[in-house]
Every structure is written in C-alpha cells, then in structure tokens.
Structure 1
C-alpha cells in the first residue's frame, strides 16, 4: 500500500497533534512534580529505542485512541497507516522522556518561523556559533541514514541525550510527524532534507537576531533624562 504525501498530510497532522497533547500533559505534570507524571516519564524512558509492541508497560500509558477514530471525512486509518502512526507517536514520546529527565524546564517546545525547534536546529545549537562540530554533525547524518525506524530511534536517543545535557529544546510534535513520514516511500529523503534546512535555519536565526538593533526605551516626557534602555 502506498500513500502519497498529499494523501497522508492529514495523518501527519493527527500524529503531530496527538504527540503534542500527550507530551504537553506529561510535561506540565512533570514540571509541577506531580507523582503520576514523574512516574509516567520514568516508564516512558524505558521504552526509548524499542518498538511499541515490545513494551507492554506502555500500552495503557500512551493513549492512541484518537488514531482509531473516524476522521471528519468519515475515513478511518488503514492498518498500515495506523501501525506507522502508532510507532511514530511511541518513538516521539519515549525520546521526549529521555530528553526531559531531570530537567526543570520543558524540553518540548513548538517550532515556529522565528524560533527553530527542528532536530537539525537543536543539533546546531550544541555547536559553537561560528564553527561546525564535525563528530556531532556526523551523528545527525548517521541518524538520517538509518535503515529503519528502530535503528533511527536508537540513533536519535544518542542525540537526545546530548540535547538534554545542554537543555536544547526540540519540537516533538514536529518530530512525530516526521517519524511517520519517514516510514513511507520517499519519506527518509524528505525528512533528511527538512533536518538539513533546520540545521541551517538556526544560524540564520542567530544572524537575524544579531542584525536587529536592541530596542531602546523612549524618554519619559515628564523626565528630563533619558532612561537606561537596559
């Protein structure tokens, strides 16, 4: 069964939304030190790098029921779509748990045009601003050339561990959608391209910020001195 990029776009959105909702709930609870959320993160970590079906302890933790529901157009996901969507959500959630461990701020943060939170940008953030850490870059390349999702998840876990050390945030909803795309014909090439663009987008973001003058406060019309802009 082959699904074109256009045909599966809505599934990408569903996978992304589900990952964001599940991770967002656990993250807020973990940061608030709620015992249930802390325990959930510990359980999720044990599933990192392993197929969803091989971790029975997570079957009742990662609620994927929305994937089984009919969409607004009335169509339910086919078996292949469903299996790949489940795996993508599982990998994203378990990797986030590794990333979030012992961090006091949320490691899942949404990506936008002004704030790149894609995987490539997260890896680039670990490097000096004006230099490329070649061994680190090769880790990203190696992940991008993984032969299957399980190997990819294992290589991403190594990267995520490094991100945790520097508290470099990542959009796990975006990653979940990319992990779903990865599993379809032509998907790995598209995802690798996205990671490469993200890698360079971080530098563009830094240069853009440097080019924008720092805002200065307007003088108070009731004061004869100019207020310190800092």
Structure 2
C-alpha cells in the first residue's frame, strides 16, 4: 500500500483550500513574512495558544484545535501527534522573534551546531543536553528534552526546519527509523565543515549578546 506523505490537493468538488502547518501560515514561498505580519510575526495570542500545548497530549488542549493542519476524522494519528509536538515547540521558538524561526533545509542537528558555534554556551554542557535528547526513545521524552534546546535557539535567533522536525517526530517511535534520524542529527551537529551562509550570519548577528560562554541551564 502506498503511503501518502502530504494530503492530496482538494478535488474539483472541494471549496476548502488545503491547510498548511501553522509555521508556514504567515510566510511567502520564499520564507519571508506576508505583508500582514511583516516585521512582527504571528500574533502573540496565537503563539500563546500554541505554547499552551507544551507537555500536553495531542488533541487535549482546545485552544490548539484551530491550529492543526493534519486531516483527521477524530483519530489521533501519528501524523497528528508529530504535528502537535512541532507546532507547540514552534510557539515557543517564535515567541518574541520578529524573524521567521521556520527555515527550510535547517535540520535540528544543523541548528544546534549553529548554537554551539555561537560560543555563548560551554560546549560540554550543550553536548550533554543534545545527547540527552538524542538518546530518548519516546516522543514525549524527546519533546521534553527539546524544550530547553529550543529556548536556547530562540535566545540566539537561530531557526530550524519545522517541516523536517515534524517528519523526524513521526519516525521517532520506530527504532530503526529513530536510529536514522539520530545519525542525521549527530552528523550535522558534529560537522566541522564550512556552514557559513547568509541566514547563518543573520542568525548570529541577531543573537549576539555581550559576554562569553555561559553554562547551559540544566532545567527546561
């Protein structure tokens, strides 16, 4: 049986446009804000609704219902669980940011490598937190660990690809697929090649603060 990754476009009889994930709701195709939210980002009350689902099961928080894009007839599918985890983390990540924190082709490992390269935190402390997240075996445990790391990314203005994170979360419950995701994150995190790019430089500039490296907080 063929697995369809994305829901099909509406047929001729449908008048409803296909819903897009929240992190792309206010973006143009080139990844910049739509004019309605330019220089400000999504409404703060909407991001607060998203954050209200942090640590809660998918579908259990009424405030989040309007923001789900996954099609469902009431069944809590793996796709919905993955979207719930990603969209709640996005609400945390985008909070207080005037630049989009969703950026194509920046997987979690690469984003965390940028965080390490910012030299704002002790490498050993950040490595421990990344390894603690990567060695979890359940989606709830992973999301719990990621909350602290996403807060650190937000502090430095470093974006990541939430479409890819959603796909990764869908794989995490399957041991073999989890190993594949874990290896991809690890290779990107420990890469020593040149990762300079316009968006990387912009993130570093936006996240620059006075002072040297600091210990990464142990809590979330």
Same fold (TM over 0.5): yes
CA distances 1:92-148 after superposition (whole Å, capped 9, x unpaired): 11101100000110111000xxxxx11111111122479970110111111111131
Task: Decide which of 54, 70, 77 is 1:64's aligned counterpart.
Answer: 70
Shift of 1:56: 2.4
In structure 1, C-alpha distance between the alignment counterparts of 2:150 and 2:113, rounded to whole Å: 13
Instruction: Give the unaligned 5+ runs of structure 2.
Output: 8-17, 28-32, 199-220
> 2:177 aligns to what?
187
Answer whether contact 1:19 1:93 (CA < 8 A) is retained: no
Shift of 1:184: 2.3
How many correspondences in the alignment? 179
> 2:46 aligns to what?
40
Shift of 1:89: 0.6
> 1:110 aligns to what?
104
In structure 2, C-alpha distance between the alignment counterparts of 1:179 and 1:30, rounded to whole Å: 29
Shift of 1:200: 3.4
Task: Decide which of 121, 133, 145 is 2:110's aligned counterpart.
Answer: 121
Instruction: Give the unaligned 5+ runs of structure 1.
Output: 69-78, 112-116, 210-230
| Higher relative contact order, structure no. (Cα contacts within 8 Å, ≥ 6 residues apart) | 1
Answer whether contact 2:51 2:88 (CA < 8 A) is retained: yes
> 2:57 aligns to what?
51
With normalisation by structure 1, the TM-score equals 0.67
Shift of 1:33: 4.3
With normalisation by structure 2, the TM-score equals 0.69
Which protein has the larger Cα radius of gyration, Structure 1 or Structure 2? 1
Over the residues paired in the alignment, what is the CA RMSD in angstroms? 3.1
